[in-house]
Amino acid sequence: MAETTRRYVDAALSGSGTGPISFEDSVSPEFYELERAAIFKRAWLHMGRVEQIPRTGSYFTREIEVAGTSILVVRDGEGVVRAFHNVCRHRGNKLVWNDFPKDEVDGTCRQFTCKYHGWRYGLDGSLAFVQQEDEFFDLDKDAYGLVPVHCDVWAGFIFINLAEQPEQSLTQFLGPMITALDGYPFDKITERYEFTARNGSNWKLFADAFQEYYHVPGLHSQQVPTAVRNPKKGFECAHFQLDGPHRMTSTGGPRRWTLPPEFMYPIERVTHSGLVGPWESPDLGDTPPGLNPGGIDPWGIDNFQIFPNVEILIYRGWYLLYQYWPTSHNTHRFEGVLCFQPATSARERVEHEVASVVFKEFALQDAGMLDGTQTALEAAYYSAGLHEFVVNDQEILVRHFHKVVGDWVRAYQQAKTEVPA
Ligand code: FES
Ligand SMILES: [Fe+2]
């Protein structure tokens, strides 16, 4: 038997053992139904950034298929960020949408007007106007405001919670590892490039592809030239950390521009931008202690995976957001957003555009595999009798993620079966 290198599981990082793990949570329609209630109706869910709603009346909608709802996020007259179910209280029409009811929209308005019979709602959700109000029967307008959703903001990131009463406040839920990023100047990094992809795989399988770098030499050979690899160990992360349901990993290594030219596209070398973003981003000043918690030098990227479905990947001077929205047990919608400090010159703008395009290529390399993983895993479970798979030491975040998902589902099931005293 080969000698085992165990750096992470033995550091008691996960408490989830070293044995094979099951991916039944990614192929079972029944499990998906449980996840919808146990996770997506209980956890805090990231919706967007405060800069997306800069003024009174600025709003956007989010389609949350996994929770069976559409959410309207708006900045009210007092500057408060609020969230509501996007449904008119008259006869249940979708309140805010443009050409296609399932598309997400954004804009700015003074009031929300229903397309159907013209009821109007204030930015605080109150019912402000009813067409031919006197034809209703003792209508108490105060009782027919939009249905609010718990909404809170951390570091400019807007979160909602669909539980009747969230079990924890947003900051309690995020915990010390994530909130140690407080003070990072996300508010200065506001130039956004957004991508959406509909993928034929369970949402967790794509998240798994960004939770370990064991796959990098295999899948992204162009990204990791031999010179960068430890010849004995392949490519490996420099630091892993867990905190409650959340995870993070840091990479280190030589700066990309010190690599031989054959490991990047000519346009990367010409524009000084590409896979890791602009080579020289404007300085952001002091960074908070939560960044690079392992003190890795030279530091590369921090990837914070906030349970259940959003990741913040912090590079030098810019960051990326990934979010995985389940649409069924074997499909999901992936969102990638690159965020840069606003360009102050044409050259900087080109650097951002090049980084976005190169990002898309590498994300496609990961996404391109997903249908294959999903269909083969389904065959494994339902035809081949394969129910468990081995994961190695540096796949600890994959192990932890699936364990946490299982824990949340079990806790939910248990709470449902407990008879109140
Ligand atoms: S359904 Fe909205 S006004 Fe009638
Ligand atoms: Fe990858």
The predicted-structure confidence for 184-221, as pLDDT tens digits, reads as follows: 999 999 999 999 999 999 999 999 999 988 888 778 77
The residue whose CB lies within 8 Å of the most ligand 1 atoms, and thus the one to mutate among 96, 113, 114, 131, is 114
Least confident stretch, 112-116, 251-255, 325-329: 251-255
pLDDT digits (tens, 9 = 90+) for 260-285: 777 778 888 899 998 888 988 888 88
Tokens of 361: 């290529």
- 383-393 pLDDT, tens digit per residue, is 999 999 999 88
**Among 119, 127, 131, 147, which residue has the most ligand 1 atoms within 8 Å of its CB, making it the best to mutate?**
119
How much is the average pLDDT of 395-411? 95
Residue with tokens 């405060």: 50
CB 208 within 8 A of CB 369: no
Q: pLDDT value at position 214?
A: 85
Ligand found nearest the CA of 210: 2
| For residue 77, pLDDT beyond 60 | yes
Decide if pLDDT at 125 tops 70: yes
Contacts 24+ apart (CB under 8 A), 57-61: 57/108, 57/109, 57/110, 57/123, 58/106, 58/107, 58/108, 59/96, 59/106, 59/107, 59/108, 59/109, 59/112, 60/104, 60/105, 60/106, 60/107, 61/86, 61/96, 61/97, 61/104, 61/105, 61/106
- Dihedral of the CA atoms 187, 191, 193, 194 (nearest 10)? 40
Q: How far apart are the CA of 237 and the centre of ligand 2, in A? A: 13
CA distances from 102 to 116, 324, 335, 336 (A): 16, 17, 16, 19
∠ CA 405-411-412, nearest 5°, is: 90
Band (2; pLDDT cuts 50, 70, 90):
low
Of residues 355 and 4, more confidence is placed in 355
DSSP state of 298: S
Q: What is the pLDDT of residue 234?
A: 59
The domain 44-154 belongs to what CATH superfamily? Rieske [2Fe-2S] iron-sulphur domain (2.102.10.10)
Ligand 1: which atom is nearest the Cα of residue 88?
Answer: 2
> How far apart, in whole angstroms, are the C-alpha atoms of residue 224 and residue 218?
9
Angle at 119 between CA 116 and CA 125, to 5 degrees: 125
For a pLDDT cut of 90, what percent of the chain falls above it?
A: 73
pTM equals 0.94
CA of 160 to the centre of ligand 1 (A): 25
What ligand 1 atom has the least distance to the C-alpha of 114? 2
pLDDT at 123 over 60: yes
DSSP 3-state of 325: strand
The atom of ligand 1 lying closest to the CA of 131 is 3
Which residues contact residue 46 at a Cβ distance below 8 angstroms, ignoring those fewer than 6 apart? Answer: 157, 158, 159, 306, 309, 310, 321, 323
What does 196-241 look like in DSSP terms, one character per residue? EEEESS-HHHHHHHTS-STTHHHH-TTTS-GGGSBTTTBS--SEEE
Cα(387) to centroid(ligand 2), Å? 24
d(CA 200, CA 327): 10
| CA angle 415–328–390, rounded 5-degree value | 75
Query: Distances in Å between the alpha carbon of 154 and those of 21, 46, 72, 169, 170?
Result: 34, 10, 18, 11, 8
The alpha carbon of 189 and the centre of ligand 2 are apart by a number of angstroms equal to 24
**Average pLDDT value for residue range 16-35:** 94
**DSSP assignment of 371-398, as one string?**
HHHHHHHHHHHHTS----B---GGGHHH
- Distance, in Å, from the CA atom of 325 to the CA atom of 310, rounded to the nearest integer, reads 9
CA 359 – ligand 2 centroid, Å: 11
What are the residue boundaries of the structural domains of the chain, listed by start? 3-41+177-418, 44-154
Contact 108/58 with Cβ under 8 angstroms? yes
User: What is the predicted pLDDT for the residue at 276?
Assistant: 81
Mean pLDDT of the chain: 91
* Mean pLDDT value across residues 154-164: 98
The single residue listed with the structure tokens 């400019």 is 156
Q: What is the DSSP letter of 50?
A: G
Please give the radius of gyration of the chain, using alpha carbons only, rounded to the nearest integer: 23
Report the percentage of the chain scoring pLDDT > 70. 91
Q: Are 376 and 383 in contact (CB under 8 A)?
A: no
Ligand nearest to the CA of 92: 1
| pLDDT tens, residue by residue, 93-108 | 999 999 999 999 999 9
pLDDT > 90? residue 148: yes
State residue 183 phi and psi, 5-degree precision.
100, -15
Count the Cβ atoms, other than its own, within 10 Å of residue 149. Answer: 22
Please identify, by atom number, the ligand 1 atom nearest to the C-alpha of residue 92: 1
Side chain identity, residue 95? L
**Preceding omega of 185 cis (within 30 degrees of 0):** no
Which pLDDT value is given to residue 213?
85
- CATH architecture of residue range(s) 3-41+177-418: Alpha-Beta Complex (3.90)
pLDDT in the model for residue 205: 97
> Which atom of ligand 1 is found nearest the CA of 93?
1
Residues whose beta carbon lies within 6 Å of some atom of ligand 1: 88, 90-91, 93, 114, 116-119
Ligand nearest to the CA of 217: 2
Question: Ligand 1: distance of its center to the CA of 107 in Å?
Answer: 20
**Tell me, what's the pLDDT at 330?**
98
pLDDT digits (tens, 9 = 90+) for 289-305: 999 999 988 888 999 99
Pair 71, 48: CB distance under 8 Å: no
